[in-house]
Structure formats: structure tokens, C-alpha cells
Chain A
Amino acid sequence: GDSVTQTEGLVTLTEGLPVMLNCTYQTIYSNPFLFWYVQHLNESPRLLLKSFTDNKRTEHQGFHATLHKSSSSFHLQKSSAQLSDSALYYCAPASSGSWQLIFGSGTQLTVMP
């Protein structure tokens, strides 16, 4: 079945340093859609960005990611971390046929001053 592997557990960064959260996926579908969701403390998950197009950079709120189907990856990046980026981040692939998003276990990002 479909699966996703994210950067393990907890990532702690100092404010101003770059952010890179890894995401690789496995799916039977040749044209998957990929999503990053973010969940701040005591809030519900919300969409951060999504991509359907191979090798095209997608950006939103300072974050960016590029879907690389050749390596089944969709890494999340930001050039300079902010304190407000502290949150739980989920990568999720889906197929247009079933639209069942398969979430990974999530990566907790903590940005320190």
C-alpha cells in the first residue's frame, strides 16, 4: 500500500537558520499529488502547500517544496526559520482516484531564539 517517510521525530533549529524537512513516499499511482500540512499547538491541521506537477517548485508562506517523481520526494524547505514556524508538519501523498491522504507520523519542528 501507499506509505510516506518523513524526517524522524523532532527537529530543533535556531531562528534564522534554514529549514529542511524530508519526505519520501511510496505509491502505486504514477501521478500522485503531494501535500504538506502544518499543525500548530492546540490547533487542527491546515494545508501549507501542495503539488501535482513533477519538478515544479511550489511556494507558500515562505515555505517551498518541489515534487520529484524520479526520487519519490517532496522535501519542505524555508530559507530562514521563524519562531512562529514551530509546529507539527505532515507530508501526505494522495491519488486523484481515491483522494485518501496517507499521512506520515509527522515531524515536530521547534525553532529556538
Chain B
Amino acid sequence: EAAVTQSPRNKVAVTGGKVTLSCNQTNNHNNMYWYRQDTGHGLRLIHYSYGAGSTEKGDIPDGYKASRPSQENFSLILELATPSQTSVYFCASGDSAETLYFGSGTRLTVL
């Protein structure tokens, strides 16, 4: 079974603060993704990566940066967090047939 681990599971941040969400996968998948999930909007793609050193913008990249320093790790960075970024964030890795394996999610609250 594919393994994608996210940390932290829960995070409370202050407006204007910096937040880093981490994701680690042990599947040796090239592709990794960050989604946010909000009621009424479903899963929306923020950033994705095709491999170490690459990051690409998804559908809603504004206010987010991503970093892929290695095959295993993919981080999502909120440089200046805002309350509108309160959400549940999912990381996923994908195999060659692009089945996505999701992590357990990070619940972020920005006060």
C-alpha cells in the first residue's frame, strides 16, 4: 500500500504568519500534488510537481508556494497566512496510471 504522510495533522496559525505543511511519500512516485478541500468546492489543486526540483501552479496557486527538494518530500508554504486559507489540505502522490494516494490531511485554522 502506498504511503503518504502529512505533518502536522492540525495547525492553528495567526494572520500574517508563515505556515509550512509537509508531505513525505515512500512510493517513489514522480508526481506529487497539494489540494485543499472546502465544503461546496470539493478538492482544488494548488500546486503539483513532476519530480525533485520542479513545481507547477495548479488551479488556485495564489498565496501559496511549493517546494520539492527531493523525490520523497513536497512542502506547501503560506508566507503570509490569511483566514481565507483556513481549510483541510491534502497531499497526494501519483503512480504511472495516475492513481492518487492521499495523505491523511492537515486541518489548518488561520485566526
Answer whether A99 and B31 are a contact pair too, CB < 8 Å, given A50-B97, A106-B42: yes
B44 in the interface (beta carbon within 8 A): yes
A90 in the interface (beta carbon within 8 A): yes
Interface residues of B in 84-101 (CB under 8 A from A): 90, 94, 97-101
**Selected contact of B99 from candidates A47, A96, A102, A104, CB within 8 Å:** A47
Contacts of A67 in B (CB 8 A): none
Q: Which residue of A lies closest to B99 (CB)?
A: A47
Tell whether, in the assembled complex, residue A90 and residue B48 are in contact, meaning their CB atoms are under 8 Å apart: no
Tell whether, in the assembled complex, residue A105 and residue B40 are in contact, meaning their CB atoms are under 8 Å apart: yes
Tell whether, in the assembled complex, residue A47 and residue B100 are in contact, meaning their CB atoms are under 8 Å apart: yes
Against A, the Cβ 8 Å flags (1 = close, 0 = not) of B67-111 are 000000000000000000000001000100111111111000000
Contacts of B105 in A (CB 8 A): 44
Tell whether, in the assembled complex, residue B104 and residue A104 are in contact, meaning their CB atoms are under 8 Å apart: no
Tell whether, in the assembled complex, residue A100 and residue B42 are in contact, meaning their CB atoms are under 8 Å apart: no
B61 in the interface (beta carbon within 8 A): no
Interface residues of A in 92-113 (CB under 8 A from B): 94, 96, 99-106
**Selected contact of B42 from candidates A33, A46, A90, A99, CB within 8 Å:** A90
Q: How far is the CB of A104 from chain B (nearest CB, A)?
A: 6
B3 in the interface (beta carbon within 8 A): no
Answer whether A99 and B94 are a contact pair too, CB < 8 Å, given A90-B42, A90-B43, A105-B41: yes
Against B, the Cβ 8 Å flags (1 = close, 0 = not) of A63-106 are 00000000000000000000000000010001010011111111
Tell whether, in the assembled complex, residue A45 and residue B58 are in contact, meaning their CB atoms are under 8 Å apart: no
Contacts of A106 in B (CB 8 A): 42-43
Contacts of A103 in B (CB 8 A): 35, 42-45
Contacts of B90 in A (CB 8 A): 44-45
Tell whether, in the assembled complex, residue B43 and residue A99 are in contact, meaning their CB atoms are under 8 Å apart: no
Contacts of B100 in A (CB 8 A): 37, 45, 47, 101
Q: How far is the CA of A103 from the CA of B99 in the complex (A)?
A: 13
User: Which residues from chain B sit less than 8 Å from chain A, CB to CB?
Assistant: 31, 33, 35, 40-45, 48, 58-59, 90, 94, 97-105
